[in-house]
Amino acid sequence: MNFFLFAAETNLLQTDITLHHYLLLGAILFVCGIVCMATKRNAIGVLMGVELVLNGATVNFVSFAHFNPTFDIEGQIFALFVIVMAAAEAAIALAIVLNFYNNHFTVDVDAAEELKG
| Predicted TM-score (pTM) of this structure | 0.74
Residue 34 carries which side chain, given as an amino acid letter? Answer: I
Q: Identify the CATH class of 17-109.
A: mainly alpha
- Find the helix packing angle between 74-104 and 43-67, rounded to 10°: 180
Helices (H), 1-117: 2-10, 19-39, 43-67, 74-104
Degrees to nearest 5, angle at CA 55 with 50 and 60: 130
105 burial (CB, 10 Å; 0-12 / 13-18 / 19+) is exposed
Asked if 79 and 58 count as a contact pair (C-beta separation under 8 A), the reply is yes
Give me the tens of pLDDT residue by residue for the chain, a chain 117 residues long. Answer: 555 555 555 555 567 888 899 999 999 999 999 999 999 888 788 889 999 999 999 999 899 888 888 877 888 888 899 889 989 988 998 888 888 788 777 777 777 666 565
